[in-house]
Chains A and B, each alone.
Chain A
Amino acid sequence: MPNILAALTLNQRLALLAFLLGLGALAATPTTGERLTVDARQMAWLAANGSSRVPARTLADWIVQGRADYQLVDVRSADAFAAGPRIPSAENIPLTVLFDAGLGRDQTIVLVGEDEAAAAQAWFLLQAAGYRGAAIVDGGLAAWRDQVLYPRVDGVDAAERAKLEAVSAHFGGAPRIGGGADPPVAAPASGLAQASPAVPKLPAAGAKKPSPAKKREGC
């Protein structure tokens, strides 16, 4: 055997090596990242840790300030997203295509869905796959409606109330007084996508949030 190998030129040896590697590759199954390994204790700790929940009012402030260092993702199906109330600036990435969307593993991703449970499912999958910046809106769309769009302002001091009013007007809502009452039914159904022009003191009204710099990866 060594004699045969010795008799080959360099190029022939390279060809033989390539052939053997190619033969081996016949059995190969490339990993496309579908199988996840979950560290149970770490996940439990993350879930119990409050840092993966973003209060609705904090998110509202981020939107008003025009911050571009996070991405708001709505994981409902395209139909549900089109039909139902939405948080402005949310990008619709249905859960089924969440892993094909090119989200960054070190990016802050705020999730909202049909309800909190749906958002939590997406959160778990993303965290398990290594997207350490995933978080959910605390209380989901319901909290958005109750705390941002139609915040209760009874018993709140004047400065706080003015701020709540400004934020809610920014999103097309209005504050309410009184406990237990449901928010006005005449609410704009498709959520709140325009900034109200009557609130000049809030910055970024009408300014589009610059899209998170999409890295160009082509040639």
Chain B
Amino acid sequence: MSEKPASRDPAPYSNPYLAGIGLGLVLLAAFVVVGRGLGASGAVSAAVTAGLHAVAPDHAHSLEWLSGRLAGDERPLKDWLVFEGLGVFLGALVSGLLARRAFVTVEKGPRVSTRARLAGAFAGGALMAIGAAFAGGCTSGQALTGGALLNLGSWAFMLMVFAGAYAVAASMRWQWR
């Protein structure tokens, strides 16, 4: 039997409960230090606002949903979530490098082409952006943060996320299985 250098393989994932405790402590730190929770979709709308403002500032001001980010002398990118997002990127990179799980690839099921998977990724992203915009958050901001704070709307949101995903899962098998 040939010897495979086992130390070069990607490390197995952590115990999900331990990872969850770690994540929960990070969330708790956010509550205690800054009085708010985590988030991600807000950073995206901040970036969109900043981009629009750079290219077509008057138009950006006319968009009611984003113009609040441009009020006064606020800079849309000087947003807590944008800085948090930079940290998320770096933190994930470090963890991935340590665990040898960082490599350029496309995650997809065995029976689908890369192009189709990327189309699915784009469509999924667009859908989730709209869903998050309606709900005022995504899984980090609403489900995790609001979940820990027993926020009524966040719990309803969280249940609906699982429901929506399970409902659609069968029709998306072609991408993953």
Contact = CB atoms under 8 A, between A and B. Distances in A.
A186 interface: no
A14 interface: yes
Interface stretch (A43-51, A120-128, A207-215): A207-215
B156 to A, nearest CB: 15
A216 B80 contact: yes
A210 B136 contact: no
Contacts of A14: 17, 21
Interface stretch (B71-79, B89-97, B121-129): B71-79
A218 B72 contact: no
Given A218-B141, A219-B145, A11 B39 contact: no
A218 B44 CA distance: 13
Interface in B52-91: 68-69, 71-74, 79-81
Nearest to A217: B36
Contacts of A211: 71-72
Contact of A219 (B68, B69, B74, B141): B141
Contact of B81 (A68, A213, A219): A219
Given A219-B39, A219-B138, A10 B71 contact: no
B15 interface: yes
Contacts of A11: 15, 17
Nearest to B69: A216
Given A11-B17, A210-B72, A218 B80 contact: no
B129 to A, nearest CB: 12
Interface size class of A (residues with CB under 8 A): 10 to 19
Given A218-B137, A219-B142, A213 B39 contact: no
Contacts of B175: none
B136 A218 contact: yes
Given A11-B17, A14-B17, A219 B140 contact: yes
Nearest to A209: B72
Nearest to B42: A219
Contacts of B72: 68, 210-211, 213
B42 A218 contact: yes
B19 to A, nearest CB: 12
Interface in A168-219: 210-211, 213-219
A215 B141 CA distance: 16
B71 A219 contact: no
Q: Give the interface centre of A68, A210, A213, A218 by most chain B CB atoms within 10 Å.
A: A218
A162 to B, nearest CB: 32
Contacts of A214: 71
A56 B71 CA distance: 29
A212 to B, nearest CB: 8
Nearest to A212: B72
A26 B21 CA distance: 21
A11 B35 CA distance: 31
Contacts of B145: 219
21 contacts: A10-B15, A10-B17, A11-B15, A14-B17, A14-B21, A210-B71, A211-B72, A215-B80, A216-B42, A216-B80, A217-B35, A217-B36, A218-B136, A219-B37, A219-B39, A219-B40, A219-B41, A219-B132, A219-B136, A219-B140, A219-B141
Interface of A: 10-11, 14, 68, 210-211, 213-219
Given A216-B80, A218-B39, 5 more contacts: A68-B72, A213-B72, A215-B80, A217-B35, A219-B38
